[in-house]
Structure 1
């Protein structure tokens, strides 16, 4: 299943992660807000503790990546012509190909640009990685057993790889045990965040995308009223979009209040965020005004470069911070350079590797058919 709206949602999520990292690097006050610390500046507090935070979500945007990946791959796995023999090598090429080139690109930035903290530099620079050792490069290249901070975003790709390898388990769960598996996924995710267990924190998130894919036709029927031309459809769609934004930013809007009650803001708002992500996918495809927005050329372009932007922006920002320092002007430079490099990476690296993964899939499907004919 290839839906243009979903590609655009990936693009918006990648931009949100980009802005999050830019903010974290260049505005200590806003970065403290990520940990629900109040800033002295009222404008900063407005950007932190209101739905405006939607523009620079970090973790929630990555969760959206997870749910979208599970949704798309599960939909693909239910097609009659789907081949597991073709899926695995193709998927590994699709993921590891761009990652390995991104690692090489990151290593180059550490070699070419001195990552040295000089006297008088911002204290923020002292928190950044200053080298990319060969053992870290090799560890990052596997995407297993943890990743370094030199590239900065590969931690999420290790969960993408694990999910991709265990896709048959997720497909089985949503087909055979949807109710019990949903309860287990919710409980597991909450337990993971309570006890800071990364496996339980992240792997159940993919389940919700797989579950949505399994019941997608029924969901579209239930939300079919959004496609009518009645004014009530636009009111409902607008209301659902507002609920989506409120859910996605709930950690920041109600988190401080929850902390005052000695409750974990992340654990308490996690169901709201996940529900908002699922709702965003539903209305993004089924509500015409949002669908039209997501299929505008700029949105589709962001979708085209989303994976590349996600992979290359962090080492670029780190390198430029050592060149220009931190602040508003370096932030603008970092955004512009990251997008420019991502465009080149998408067309020079990611697109050819995507085509290679498709050729691998076709070759494996052909081999499967030949083996079937021979066996028959």
Structure 2
């Protein structure tokens, strides 16, 4: 029998914080590997990294899907608490997203100004040349601060925050839809995976990403039932098999690349399995005691605490080091950049993110109280 410890008094589920921290580290390693790719591609090392189970530790795009499922689940949980205010929630959400994003973009712009970037020093067609700004243009900087554009050359991981913001705005509708289909939650989650596949094939990002967020929201509406399901007696092999299956789904498109090359229909179909794989890993983090204990260790909890800050600051640091020492010295970029990213993320959390959390709570209380007063004034 697998038991689940109760969440903290704050309502946070500890193991999901740890999962978030691991996902942020995977994204960091993924971007480091992209710097190394021009120098490793075609080698045995590259094949081992990208087409074996080792891909799990650098599956950055898939780790973002884990973030999306987690956001869909965790962000909506306060909706079901007494006294919830949509106006307060949305106001606080804006503060929590925009404050750190603006600070991260200013940080990235400062690094570009301090360390000149000559694109001719980077391999043609590489991630470094295709996605990174080499100069700071104020109009572009201001546009990226709005989270309206689809691409972010100053700090390219921010593309996912665009979809986080849009889903936050649509959350009332998503919550209503999730409540409508909650009786058929498993079928609805599979339908979301199918819709995401259609979005991938049609190259429609809204259809690709929104169903993945919705998966998490559907799971949130059934969270008590999920935890009850977790506590049922099961064979000892069930959760290890479930976890292995979730991992396999998450990176299936990579494992199959020798027979299903990237860009082909089969590979696209296999990539769509990453969404239910991400959802499965969230369930594992709630259900399998060894994994839960691992994610609840102090190191994993610390990673979870700084995960958003790490996500925001690591690419500017890695890119700056790549220009400073040369991307051909990708080993040195990782040796310096990975610990430096963790250190800067901790400082960023203390100086920016934690302060934005406090500001968001104040905004939430003020806006919610004003909304309640207004409702009382117009009530018959």
Q: TM-score, normalised by structure 1?
A: 0.89
In structure 1, distance between residues paired with 2:281 and 2:215 = 13
**Matching residue within 164, 167, 172 for 2:171:** 167
Match of 2:331 in 1: 328
Deviation of 1:244 after TM superposition, in Å, equals 2.1
Match of 1:213 in 2: 220
| Alpha-carbon contact 1:189-1:202 (below 8 Å) kept | yes
Match of 2:47 in 1: 45
- Structure 1 stretch displaced more, 241-250 or 149-158: 241-250
Deviation of 1:116 after TM superposition, in Å, equals 2.2
Using a 3 Å threshold, how does the CA distance of structure 1 residues 375 and 198 change in structure 2: closer, same or farther? closer
Provide, for residues 108-134 of structure 1, a one-character-per-residue CA deviation record: whole Å limited to 9, x for no partner.
111111112466x65555444311212
Match of 1:278 in 2: 279
Deviation of 1:359 after TM superposition, in Å, equals 1.1
Q: TM-score, normalised by structure 2?
A: 0.88
Deviation of 1:365 after TM superposition, in Å, equals 2.5
Match of 1:146 in 2: 150
Using a 3 Å threshold, how does the CA distance of structure 1 residues 175 and 335 change in structure 2: closer, same or farther? same
Provide, for residues 330-375 of structure 1, a one-character-per-residue CA deviation record: whole Å limited to 9, x for no partner.
2211112211111100111000111110111112222234334545
Structure 1 position 363 matched with structure 2 position 366: yes
| Alpha-carbon contact 2:100-2:352 (below 8 Å) kept | yes
In structure 2, distance between residues paired with 1:150 and 1:368 = 37
Structure 1 position 59 matched with structure 2 position 61: yes
Structure 1 position 287 matched with structure 2 position 294: no
Aligned pairs for 1:17-28 (under 5 A) are 17-28=27-38
| Alpha-carbon contact 1:29-1:44 (below 8 Å) kept | no
| Alpha-carbon contact 2:66-2:282 (below 8 Å) kept | no
In structure 2, distance between residues paired with 1:72 and 1:53 = 27
| Alpha-carbon contact 1:256-1:265 (below 8 Å) kept | no
Segments of structure 1 that go 5 or more residues without pairing to the other structure are 33-38
Give the number of equivalent residue pairs: 361
Aligned pairs for 1:24-103 (under 5 A) are 24-28=34-38, 32=41, 39-41=42-44, 43-103=45-105
Segments of structure 2 that go 5 or more residues without pairing to the other structure are 1-10
| Alpha-carbon contact 2:150-2:159 (below 8 Å) kept | yes
